[in-house]
Structure 1
Amino acid sequence: MLFKISDLGLRDIVNLVDGAKLGPVKDVHFDPETGQVLSLVLSSGRKYFGLLSAGSDVVVPWEKIKKIGIDTVLVEIESAAKTL
């Protein structure tokens, strides 16, 4: 299945470990020499009063992505506390 990296921002990111819906894709890390995607950076998504961010970004290594579907991306990470 082919898709654009920008399309990942439209999909829900769900952790298989605890069923939690994680934040939206904020950035993508890739190897500039090979073009291979290394990880997704997810925004914490939580905000105080809609203004200030309440959490850290979550980094999901590419090998932890288990399935990319039409509406959802399934990942398997032990803790959403992994930060940049």
Structure 2
Amino acid sequence: MIKATQLETKDVVNLSDGAKLGPIKDLHIDMETGKVIALVLQAPSKYFGLMRSGKDMVIPWELVSKFGLDAILVDLQPMDRRYYQD
């Protein structure tokens, strides 16, 4: 079992290209069932970490492959923009 507070300390890594996608910022949870629907990753920072450079990334729960000690593995197509929040 893993606690929600432990998620922000883990790296999120894409299996298809090995890219580090960023830290987990939030979770989307279905209020009726209590199940996690998606992980929300924080937009990357720019300007020496002072400002965010874009939109947060939302990864559907079905694409989360594995939780490890140091990382969470997800299976996304590289540079697929549909995962970015509007």
Could you tell me the TM-score, scaled by structure 2's length? 0.88
Q: Aligned-residue CA RMSD in angstroms? A: 1.3
| Aligned residue pairs, count | 83
**% same residue:** 48
SS in 1 for 2:8: helix
Provide runs of 4+ in structure 1 moved above 6 Å: none
Contact 1:58 1:80 in 2 (8 A): no
Aligned match of 2:57: 58
Query: In the TM superposition, what is the alpha-carbon distance from 1:66 to its structure 2 partner?
Result: 0.3
SS in 2 for 1:10: coil
Within a 5 Å distance, the mapping from 1:38-77 to structure 2 comes to 38-77=37-76
**Ranges in structure 2 where 5+ consecutive residues have no aligned partner:** none
**Ranges in structure 1 where 5+ consecutive residues have no aligned partner:** none
Aligned match of 1:8: 7
Between 1:43-52 and 1:56-65, the stretch displaced more is 43-52
Could you tell me the TM-score, scaled by structure 1's length? 0.90
| Alpha-carbon separation, structure 2, partners of 1:13 and 1:52 | 21
- AA aligned to 1:6 is T
